[in-house]
A = this chain, B = another copy of it.
Amino acid sequence: MVKKFNPLLKEPLQPKDDTAGIERPLALMEQIPENPAPLVDLANRPVLSARQFDREKVIQLSRLAALYETTPTRMQLPLTGKILINAFYEPSTRTRLSFESAWHRLGGDVMSITDPATTGIAKGETLADVAEMFNNYGDLVVLRDGSEEAVYKMLESLRIPIINAGNGIDEHPTQGLADLYTLFKWRPELIASKVPAQAQIRVGIVGVPSCMRTVRSLLLFLALFAPAIKEVVVICHQEEAFAKDQREELELSGLTLRIARHLNPELPILDVVYINSIAWVGDSFEKLGKGLRLCRSSPLKPGAIILHPLARGEELSTDLDNTEHNWYFAQARGAVFMRMALLTSLVQRIDQVMDTPGQS
């Protein structure tokens, strides 16, 4: 029972993936002229849906995220004295800690509601009364809830900004922002308003657009950057891959969409493979068996990158972790910086990290 002591390396482990470091975010920043106006416009806004964002907001948020990623030692603490209410009525560790970390990194304090059984909502309080309570206690709310309507209903009474961290099957906009930040660090040229045909990318999405909130937000964000995307291939076994009007809305934005039934035949042409935990979508994973699984022996295109919002299951093998395809670690890493950028903007502290005309 006495455990033999394992010699521990003096040097910290190196990351398994090659995407850390400041080179890529620096290169991205150099591509983007600083423009605070789109971020100033976000002040005090609620963030519920990817539809609220335009290209300029996403680009400037990515620039600010890259600034944060390249300066680990905070000169400024723009959220000093600010209180975040982290309301997770649907359990989560990753997203909750990602927001808490982002808020703390900027100097703020956090109050968490993580056990629904002890909360007002569980005791039958209306969302309007809960919102009024939040008005008195904090400066920003992050809400994850199993229902689609809760975050919209709260808006009727909330006078501080709120971020939708996942409302049922509907959306998860900050995850989508993190996904795009990752794509831009990988290939900054994608932000251009005109992208040459040979630089355009094919994006494969393994998931069900009608009912997966991460996929729904991602597609809306990709639609903003349609000039950079040759096509989006949705790999999905469901008869009804899209919800009513969903496909039409995306195609009207300029996105080219195609549905495929099988993953491996598509892999050789995909530049980006986005895969989500799908074991729980009915029993479709079981039916497909190995077909919806990525691993080192999958026929991935050389240089292709894999994104996964994590936590992962069987669908993404760990034998990919130390390959060039692993950009899912970068995605999780960048999500904290992107959330820092968004939070700074929402609580009207952009003037503390950028030169904003007319603000001291």
Contact A311/B104 with A93-B119, A119-B93 known, Cβ cut-off 8 Å: no
Taking the full assembly, how many copies of this chain does it contain? 3
Q: Are B16 and A157 in contact (CB under 8 A)?
A: yes
Of the four ranges (under 10, 10 to 19, 20 to 34, 35 or more), the interface on chain A belongs to: 35 or more
Q: Which of A2-61 contact B (CB under 8 A)?
A: 2-3, 5-6, 8, 10, 12-16, 44-46, 48-49, 51-52
Distance of A51 Cα from B3 Cα, bound (Å) = 10
Given contacts A81-B74, A111-B104, A211-B1, contact A311 B129 (CB under 8 A): yes
Q: Which residues of B contact A170 (CB under 8 A)?
A: 1, 3
Q: Are B133 and A169 in contact (CB under 8 A)?
A: no
Q: Tell me which residues across on chain B come within 8 A of A311, comparing CB atoms.
A: 120, 123-125, 129
Known contacts A97-B85, A152-B6, A332 near B125 by CB under 8 Å: no
Q: A230 at the A/B interface (Cβ < 8 Å)? A: no
Chain A residues with CB under 8 Å of chain B are 1-3, 5-6, 8, 10, 12-16, 44-46, 48-49, 51-52, 73-74, 77, 81, 83, 85, 91-94, 97-98, 100-101, 104-105, 107, 109-111, 113-115, 117-120, 123-126, 128-129, 132-133, 135-138, 148, 152, 155-160, 169-171, 210-211, 216, 243-246, 249, 310-313, 318, 329, 332-333, 335-336
6 contacts between A and B (CB under 8 A): A2-B245, A16-B157, A81-B105, A98-B137, A110-B111, A128-B318
Cβ-closest 4 pairs across A and B: A1-B243, A91-B118, A104-B109, A101-B137
